[in-house]
Chain A
Amino acid sequence: MTVEDLLFHSFAVMAVLSALFVVFNRNPVYSALFLALCMSVLGAMFFTLNAYFVAVAQITVYAGAVMVLFVMVVMLFDLKREAEEILKFSPVTLAKVLAAALLCGFLVGTGWLGVTAVKGNLALHLAPSATAADLEKPIDGKIPRMEEKKETSPDEAREPLAKVSGNPDEDLTAAEEARLVENATVPESRVGGGLEEFGSTVTLSRVLFSKFVFAFEAVSALLLVAIVGAVALARSKGGTHHVS
């Protein structure tokens, strides 16, 4: 067992455990904090894969920005009443439980599809003819081959997924995430000297602004619509302050 293996397995266990704690913890503040931990551990996993920029973006966006606001809001509310409310039996509760069950089914389904797709693609793309030399080819304006072979490495495998669905972490539970990453681990022989180049922002932005530029712009438009919608909703209800 190498140091990388050790790091990966400990991070994987931490990610799964913290994800479970998010769901099973009664205290919403703890849930939010565990979610932040889960995001940070996923970021750390990207570090071990030499995808520094993705790692850092993961930590900044999820743990550093989104979850801070979550934690802040949850800490300000007195959520004891809500916790009792959800345990009372009523038609609304039934609808809530049904909706939650549907969402779970959907998540498990998409997760399973994702895992099988990656498995199939791995068999297709990990041809013995591809060597470390392919990874080291210089980038001269056109997209290098390793981007065209989507399953060269886990975060590359995730990139197209991320662009299509907007956010892979929302579609897969942490356990499946870990499995997905594990299934797509790069064989030893394919890790050439190109790793420095591979995780760099230059490579990443070249792919992002050429091959996936439409998906990138589409996702940003979608996010903008969501923000405008959220602001409009908050305003139409008279802001966040209830008048009693």
Chain B
Amino acid sequence: MGDGLLEFIVNTVKIALIFFAVVSTVPLLVWVERRGSAFMQNRLGPNRVGPLGLLQLAADAVKFIFKEPFVPEAADKALYFMAPALCLLPAMLTFAAIPLSTPFTVGGHTFKMQVTDINVGIVYIFAVASLGVYGILVAGWSSSNKYSLLGALRASSQMISYEVAMGLSIIGVILKYKTFDLTKMIGAQTGPFNFTWQGHNFEPLSWLPNWGIFFQPVAFILFFTAGFAETNRLPFDLPEGEAELVAGYHTEYGGFKFNMFFMGEYGHMMTSAALITILFFGGYALPWAGGGPVQVQEFWLSHSTWLSQTLSLSASEAASVLTMVTHLACFSAKMGFFLFVYIWVRWTLPRFRYDQLMDLGWKTMLPWSLANLGATTALMFFARYNPL
């Protein structure tokens, strides 16, 4: 019973911690976005409130909370209030399946650095992410505003279209790793670049890490592009094209309700940055650490006496904690880079026209992802064929 209670408490704490970590990264990203865009456009950006303008975040948060909650007269009240939550929830739920680091052991208990370890992690993320459309649709319909409805229709058709290409693009990756499990995918990307061809193992470039992007470059481009469309960000931010639709599906939302849509968008962005890291860039594993997480653990086993003495832990436990911290830092760095790329692209590329967007989704990305799937299947078949 004690173990059950401990598990319950640990899981609750983990859920709360990861939720707050995601939510509190959002203002930081907003700051990076505003300062970054200012830098790219040769402006200064918010630099008055606090050092480097960092306290602007607090000012914004206070403004969001204390704004007057305005509800349109003709709105469907129940759905109008539910929509922001429907938007935020899937974004937060998808992050629950992301393995952030290696598990660590303290006091005989092993703690995993993710909310729940599902053996079909990648499919779970896609399933829950596909529920995000409801929030947008409900928001657009319940506001009873033509701009909201049009924005919602644009957003949902865009998300559905790009979900197809996105889903098909990663099947090649899944075939390569032979698993749906995100942790096992990371495990498959450790060590130097190597592959097996007809019974022989090749290691042509030993300085290259064994990352997914070198095996599935087309899948990476498709997944990365579809990620922008899924998060409704530039160059695919037609749902909220200001010149045409005021602000799209959240035209009638202000204050904290708008903030929830905002956090939902950034949550989706973080999940797709994390997924790109895991699928194509080795996840939390350190590149050029030949043996992967095991080697990091061995390194810390001989260098962790200072921690085990100060915290009175056993050597292996202290090593596992330090390994976890190393990998968490590695994962954050990789994920942070892709989050920055998201922001970078937003302030670099102009917006698509709607027919161009649909053409790109259905007539370019879908055939390419199907071709990638076909090519991967053929290659894997011939790779397994052994002439001897």
Contact = CB atoms under 8 A, between A and B. Distances in A.
A53 interface: yes
B126 A71 contact: no
B127 interface: yes
Given A29-B141, A36-B134, A65-B130, A199 B119 contact: yes
A64 B127 contact: yes
A72 B180 contact: no
Interface in B103-161: 118-120, 123-124, 126-128, 130-131, 133-134, 137-138, 140-141, 149, 153, 156-157, 160
Given A75-B141, A75-B149, A68 B120 contact: no
A63 interface: yes
B134 A60 contact: no
A85 interface: no
Contacts of B157: 72
Given A68-B133, A68-B134, A72-B137, A201 B156 contact: no
A99 interface: no
Nearest to A68: B133
B344 interface: no
B352 interface: no
Interface residues of A, number: 26
A59 B127 CA distance: 6
A59 B130 CA distance: 9
A71 B119 contact: no
B8 interface: yes
Contacts of B76: 29
B123 A60 contact: yes
Contact of B123 (A30, A53, A68, A69): A53
A68 B131 CA distance: 8
B137 A56 contact: no
Contacts of A64: 127, 130-131, 133
Contacts of B126: 60
Contacts of A30: 79
Nearest to B156: A72
* Main secondary structure on B side of the interface with A: helix
Contacts of A33: 79, 134, 138
Nearest to B164: A65
Contacts of A53: 120, 123, 180
A196 interface: yes
A60 B132 CA distance: 11
A52 interface: yes
A3 B12 CA distance: 14
Task: Please indicate which of the listed interface residues A3, A52, A196, A200 has the most CB atoms of chain B within 10 Å of its own CB.
Answer: A52
Q: Identify which of A60, A69, A200 gathers the most chain B CB atoms within 10 Å of its CB.
A: A60
Contacts of B140: 75
A71 B120 contact: no
A68 B163 CA distance: 13
Interface residues of B, number: 26
A200 B119 contact: yes
Tell me the interface secondary structure of chain A in the complex. helix
Nearest to B86: A33
A18 interface: no
A31 interface: no
Interface in A17-33: 29-30, 33
Contact of B130 (A3, A68, A196, A201): A68
Contacts of B160: 65, 68-69
B4, B123, B149, B160: most-surrounded residue (chain A CB, <10 A): B123
B120 A3 contact: no
Nearest to A30: B79
A68 B136 CA distance: 11
Interface in B155-184: 156-157, 160, 180
Interface string B41-71: 0000000000000000000000000000000
Interface string A54-68: 001101100111001
A63 B79 CA distance: 18
A152 interface: no
Nearest to B90: A64
B149 A3 contact: no
B120 A52 contact: yes
Contacts of B79: 29-30, 33
Interface string A35-47: 0100010010000
Contacts of A40: 131
A57 B120 CA distance: 10
Nearest to B133: A68
A95 to B, nearest CB: 32
Given A36-B134, A68-B137, A56 B119 contact: no
Interface of A: 3, 29-30, 33, 36, 40, 43, 52-53, 56-57, 59-60, 63-65, 68-69, 71-72, 75-76, 196, 199-201
30 contacts: A3-B4, A29-B76, A29-B141, A30-B79, A33-B79, A33-B134, A40-B131, A52-B118, A52-B119, A52-B124, A56-B127, A57-B123, A57-B127, A59-B128, A63-B130, A64-B131, A65-B160, A68-B130, A68-B133, A68-B137, A68-B156, A68-B160, A69-B160, A71-B134, A72-B137, A72-B156, A75-B137, A199-B119, A200-B119, A201-B119
